[in-house]
Structure 1
Amino acid sequence: MAEALTILASVSPGEVRVALLRGDRLEEAWIDRPARPDGVGDLHRARVTALAPAMAGAFLAMAGGETGFLPESEAGPVRQPIAQSVQEGLVLPVRVTRAPQGGKGARVTARLTSAEQARAAAAPPGNAPLLLARGPDAALRLARAHPRAEIVTDGAGLAARLRATYSPRPVFDEALEAEFDALAGPEVPLPGGGRILVHPTPALTALDVDAGSAAGARDPEAQRRVNEAAVVEAARQIRLRHLAGPILLDLAGMARKRREALAEPLARALAPDRLARLLGLGPLGLFEILRQRIHPPLHEVLAGPLTPGLSALRMAVREAAARPGRRLALVAAPAVLAALEALPGALEEAAAAIGQPVQLRPDPLRSWARWTIEEAGHGG
């Protein structure tokens, strides 16, 4: 009997974290910041600004000064040279199919559904780029992908929108909180010992298996067992972290012949991920994986001082719920506080949940991670 699927959506100031659980095992992890959506699924009225035949596509001006790229394969019902599909100055509706990355604009398609075409036709007249509709957020995407899954959220507004079960208590328990926190870090412990180290770079992501104590164990099969666990967990971490582009997996030790024996288990572990493809074992003895990018990887979402700031607001709301009436202050590095102030709505949502604003106290001597929630009126 298949294990039940559950979607948990944890709503906090400036952020919505969404988990898909199969039984009690985390299958997918998403972090949305509604004030800064990644744009995937957005419907735009855009204007062609330049044809790029050498790149087999065209550049588009989009709402908010953003740039999009329309591949010639997505410019019309039949693929043909881009100059035969669009011309400079043409205004057309498009949908974002891939989030921007590395300074490059979003990837878009002009192949729209009839509902999208009708929505574009009903837009106000004009030739200026215009955002016509936002794409679905993570909770809605998961709900559509898994219509039989139970959906539980601690956000009243989200519960009403998704027709989900509302929980007055936080839906993430300590174990799930810890698992989400771990997705921001480079180290993944393996059952039975050993670990995977995750090293993202602009060009590729390297996954390095460290056998730990098994590397020097007398049991010749100890290293094999670590690597067998590693290929399964590596596939899971690739999916959970939304890693994309070229991915190299370096197993711990083992001759090439023994590594080749793990190609089939790795392919099987990757199979449920429709975006990932195992290319094979390369000449350097590294497994080569290619995963299509649609949404930004979690290491991009979680980079910078905003992430600890939102964690602090989440903690402040919980402390206020446990001990109502206290006036709270957040003491943190100036960069953390500046990031919160720059995120529309986050501090206002925290104030609404707590019943009064959170005081912000900059401490230039603190690192980003060393924030504290204190009672207002006391030193930090």
Structure 2
Amino acid sequence: MAVNEEILINVAPMETRVALVENGVLQEVYLERTQRRGIVGNIFKGKVVRVLPGMQAAFVDIGLEKAGFIHASDIAPLDDSGMEDRNGEVADIRELVREGQSLVVQVVKDPIGTKGARLTTHLSVSARYLVYMPYTRHIGVSNRIEEEVERERLKQLVEESSAKLAESGQTGSGGFILRTVAEGVSEDELLLDIPFLYRLWNEMEERIKSRPVPSVIYEDLPLFMRTMRDLARPHTEKVRIDSREAYARVAKFANKFAPEIANRIEHYPGERPLFDLYSVEDEIEKALDNKVTLKSGGYLIVEQTEAMSTIDVNTGAFVGHRNLEETIFKTNLEAATTIARQLRLRNLGGIIIIDFIDMQDEEHQRQVLRTLEKAMERDNAKTCITGVSELGLVEMTRKRTRESLGQLMCEPCSVCHGRGTLKSAETVCYEIFREIIREARAYDSEKFMVLASQMVIERLLDEESANVADLEEFVGRPIQFQVEPIYTQEQYDIILV
């Protein structure tokens, strides 16, 4: 089935949001806030502040709140000609860097939670069709371009274009990777990218020499411009932008670097917000919930933790028409396509465990797995899916380069501190009883005053009133209660009066 792909760009002074819509259904959301821009792709001149031989890694101060982390495998020593010497072996971290040394690094993963940014010295800068790697002579092609004839054509075009530019005095010593959008492009289009990348790198080399440590050497484009470079493809039907200023910048960029989609870019001037028009706001709201309903009546429970994300599939209200096995199979098939969309929409990364409903038929298992793999093919993030385990679980990984939608838009609950549950009012009442007994044995007082939340006090005076009377008799002192409106359900104080 042909995919009708649209890109919606909502620009405001405080944040920019991008929605990728396929066949009228939201698939991906990108968010960039003015005060907290992502730094993946940015290049820094930093200083090594700590070397960890046991972990084969080092921490590098790049001027952020947390030091960045770099592994020995992400540091390639340079040979006499200034090119990366990749011999396949990872050298001892102590041979590669030392504390106090300045190091030019690029961010490959944003800081997430308590972790600092993940860094590499394998530097690269991107244009529309090409990624330039200044420290390697390798020419590679995106794995998503599968046709061997096209791969060879593109590699040959880059080699010939580089040679032509060298003859005219425009040269660079690095290599290139051809991006997915380069499929089918002409030599003239590639010739636009190569000199641009050479000039960009020459400017950066000057900054590396002159800038102090730590400092920013290169910042990637703002989100709405990166969208045109990374997301807009020749088959993109429409790009709609609700900011006149951003539209002008994007249109200028497209005319120069992506003329094939320049006429599909539109400014949206309507009074109704662009994201409301496509129901994107509603879909984002749903993506922050852990429950996802399926059309059949089944549902998914999606839980994201520090270690991994888990997805549980349930039949719910779906009872089917034939038998239980058929009901389970249909629910799992629908769940597989929905899971692929939810992973993209929520931007879940790392280890993902999917608990499909147990299927006895091995052919059913294979079909569900194939459906999941096919649905994941449109995902730009690198994924790896295993077969169904003995426990009926599907294990997979999805490359994580930035925070998930939930991490970007939410924070841990100030009441439960991210646990997701609170102690019941009954549990808190019994904690109060135990504390009163401890206080009665340790201190003399005329009476006790209990300060707690409305819910807890109501329970103490109602369901637990008989227990309170028994406790007063046991400790030999009266107990009074007072509601504290600002207390959470788990908070209480016992005052000796």
- Secondary structure at the counterpart of residue 47 of structure 2: strand
Q: Quickly say closer, same or farther: Cα 1:208–1:124, change in 2 above 3 A.
A: same
Instruction: Assess if the C-alpha contact under 8 Å between 1:93 and 1:120 holds in 2.
Output: no
The aligned counterpart of 1:98 is 109
Provide Cα deviations, 1:86-127, integer angstroms capped at 9, x if missing partner: 222221221111111231111111122343564153257354
The aligned counterpart of 2:478 is none
Give the deviation of 1:229 after TM superposition.
0.6
Distance 1:158 1:230 in 2: 38
Q: 1:188 aligns with which of 292, 296, 305?
A: 292
Give the deviation of 1:218 after TM superposition.
5.5
Distance 1:179 1:188 in 2: 11
Instruction: Assess if the C-alpha contact under 8 Å between 1:6 and 1:22 holds in 2.
Output: yes
The aligned counterpart of 2:472 is none
The aligned counterpart of 1:282 is 389
C-alpha RMSD of the superposition: 2.7
Instruction: Assess if the C-alpha contact under 8 Å between 2:112 and 2:402 holds in 1.
Output: no
Q: 1:168 aligns with which of 269, 272, 279?
A: 269
Q: Quickly say closer, same or farther: Cα 1:301–1:241, change in 2 above 3 A.
A: same
Give the deviation of 1:153 after TM superposition.
1.1
**Structure 1 residue 232 corresponds to structure 2 residue 337:** yes
Distance 1:98 1:305 in 2: 22
Give the deviation of 1:20 after TM superposition.
1.3
Distance 1:140 1:235 in 2: 26
Distance 2:202 2:403 in 1: 27
The aligned counterpart of 1:21 is 21
Give the deviation of 1:255 after TM superposition.
3.2
Q: 2:95 aligns with which of 84, 89, 92?
A: 84
- Secondary structure at the counterpart of residue 100 of structure 1: coil
Out of 4-13 and 177-186, give the one that drifted further.
Answer: 4-13
Distance 1:204 1:81 in 2: 30
Identity, in percent, stands at 29
Give the deviation of 1:272 after TM superposition.
2.9
Distance 2:17 2:210 in 1: 37
Unaligned runs of 5+ in 2: 77-83, 125-133, 135-199, 252-264, 414-484, 489-497
Distance 2:306 2:32 in 1: 22
The aligned counterpart of 1:37 is 37
Look up the equivalent residue of 2:107 and give its one-letter code.
V
Look up the equivalent residue of 1:166 and give its one-letter code.
H
**Structure 1 residue 142 corresponds to structure 2 residue 227:** yes
The aligned counterpart of 1:8 is 8
Distance 1:15 1:305 in 2: 22
Aligned residues: 309
Unaligned runs of 5+ in 1: 307-363, 368-380
Look up the equivalent residue of 1:45 and give its one-letter code.
K
**Structure 1 residue 272 corresponds to structure 2 residue 378:** yes
Look up the equivalent residue of 1:133 and give its one-letter code.
Y
Q: 2:406 aligns with which of 277, 283, 299?
A: 299
Give the deviation of 1:13 after TM superposition.
4.9
The aligned counterpart of 2:258 is none
Instruction: Assess if the C-alpha contact under 8 Å between 1:7 and 1:143 holds in 2.
Output: no
Distance 2:25 2:211 in 1: 50
Q: Quickly say closer, same or farther: Cα 1:117–1:281, change in 2 above 3 A.
A: farther
Distance 1:35 1:275 in 2: 29
Distance 2:354 2:328 in 1: 16
The aligned counterpart of 1:259 is 365
Give the deviation of 1:286 after TM superposition.
1.0
Out of 227-236 and 80-89, give the one that drifted further.
Answer: 80-89
**Structure 1 residue 201 corresponds to structure 2 residue 305:** yes
Distance 1:171 1:177 in 2: 10
Provide Cα deviations, 1:125-165, integer angstroms capped at 9, x if missing partner: 35421123332344333311224333211123322222253
Give the deviation of 1:55 after TM superposition.
2.1
- Secondary structure at the counterpart of residue 108 of structure 1: strand
1:326-341 → structure 2 map (5 Å cutoff) = none
Look up the equivalent residue of 1:156 and give its one-letter code.
R
Q: Quickly say closer, same or farther: Cα 1:12–1:186, change in 2 above 3 A.
A: farther
Out of 55-64 and 121-130, give the one that drifted further.
Answer: 121-130
Instruction: Assess if the C-alpha contact under 8 Å between 2:336 and 2:371 holds in 1.
Output: yes
Give the deviation of 1:64 after TM superposition.
3.1
- Secondary structure at the counterpart of residue 296 of structure 1: coil
Distance 2:73 2:408 in 1: 29
The aligned counterpart of 2:50 is 50
**Greater relative contact order (Cα < 8 A, sep 6+):** 1
- Secondary structure at the counterpart of residue 140 of structure 1: helix
Instruction: Assess if the C-alpha contact under 8 Å between 1:275 and 1:291 holds in 2.
Output: yes
Distance 1:52 1:121 in 2: 31
Provide Cα deviations, 1:331-375, integer angstroms capped at 9, x if missing partner: xxxxxxxxxxxxxxxxxxxxxxxxxxxxxxxxx99x9xxxxxxxx
Q: Quickly say closer, same or farther: Cα 1:210–1:153, change in 2 above 3 A.
A: same
Out of 255-264 and 172-181, give the one that drifted further.
Answer: 255-264
Distance 2:400 2:388 in 1: 22
Instruction: Assess if the C-alpha contact under 8 Å between 1:256 and 1:285 holds in 2.
Output: no
Provide Cα deviations, 1:26-67, integer angstroms capped at 9, x if missing partner: 232112212101211122111111222332222100113431
Distance 2:71 2:244 in 1: 40
Out of 132-141 and 234-243, give the one that drifted further.
Answer: 132-141
**TM-score of the two chains, using structure 2 as the length reference:** 0.57
Distance 1:134 1:191 in 2: 43
**TM-score of the two chains, using structure 1 as the length reference:** 0.73
- Secondary structure at the counterpart of residue 178 of structure 1: helix
Give the deviation of 1:267 after TM superposition.
1.9
- Secondary structure at the counterpart of residue 7 of structure 1: strand
